[in-house]
Amino acid sequence: MRVAAKAENSRNYSQCDSLLLGDKCGAHTWPYVECGNESSILEHEATTSKISEDQLFYCQQRGIPTEKAIGLIVNGYAKDVLNKLPMEFAVEAQKLLSITLEGSVG
């Protein structure tokens, strides 16, 4: 994030949420802020969560196989962002997500 010197009263909020799949991964985020104007307000936030054993078993117990369950959970997680994308892109992003997830378990 870079705020130029002439950007009077500018405002920024960066959110960086990570969802971990499995126990062999981690997330490292470096929010980068460069502010050239004293009247600006900048905020950043980062969260990390993981798909819980409970969520996964809950889906499986309702007959949803593991891979499909992860797809459902990830799509739910990313829904807020996906909803803001233009239609064509949202469909693409959803497909992309499910392809990336294929074979990510087991």
- Other beta carbons within 10 angstroms of residue 72's beta carbon come to 13
Nearest distance, CB of residue 99 and other proteins, angstroms? 18
State yes or no: residue 57 binds other proteins (CB under 8 A).
yes
* Closer residue to other proteins (CB): 11 or 95: 95
Going from the C-alpha of 60 to that of each of 2, 29, 48, 51, 76, the distances in angstroms are: 45, 32, 24, 13, 16
Among 22, 31, 36, 76, binds other proteins (CB under 8 A): 76
Among 65, 89, 96, 102, binds other proteins (CB under 8 A): 65
Nearest distance, CB of residue 17 and other proteins, angstroms? 11
Name residue, tokens 């117990």.
Answer: 61
